């Protein structure tokens, strides 16, 4: 694996892990972001948390796919 691919996979993994933790731990400051507030107002906090968890899992999956080549 070349350096660029490893870097992109690493960044994707770290961002995915952070996003996953925001959804699981219900981090309040992250739900103050305009897009998250919009989702929360429209579908509720549980749906917003689920969206964060799904996005985190997708980013971690993307990191695994990039790392495998």
Tokens of 33: 């972001």
Q: What pLDDT, on a 0 to 100 scale, did the predictor assign at position 60?
A: 98
Q: What pLDDT, on a 0 to 100 scale, did the predictor assign at position 69?
A: 84
- Alpha-carbon distance of 40 to 57, in angstroms, equals 20
Q: Is the Cβ–Cβ distance between 40 and 1 less than 8 Å?
A: no
Q: What pLDDT, on a 0 to 100 scale, did the predictor assign at position 1?
A: 72
Q: First and final CA of the chain: distance in angstroms? A: 7
* pLDDT tens track, the chain, 69 positions: 799 999 999 999 999 999 999 999 999 999 999 989 999 999 999 999 999 999 999 999 999 999 998
Overall pTM surpassing 0.85 (yes/no): yes
Q: Domain map of the chain by residue range?
A: 3-68
């Amino acid at each position: 694996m070349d350096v660029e691919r490893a870097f992109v996979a690493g960044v994707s993994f770290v961002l995915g892990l952070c996003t996953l933790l925001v959804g699981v731990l219900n981090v309040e400051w992250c739900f103050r972001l305009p897009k998250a507030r919009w989702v929360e107002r429209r579908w509720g906090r549980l749906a917003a948390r689920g969206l964060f968890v799904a996005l985190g899992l997708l980013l971690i999956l993307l990191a695994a796919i990039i790392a495998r080549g």
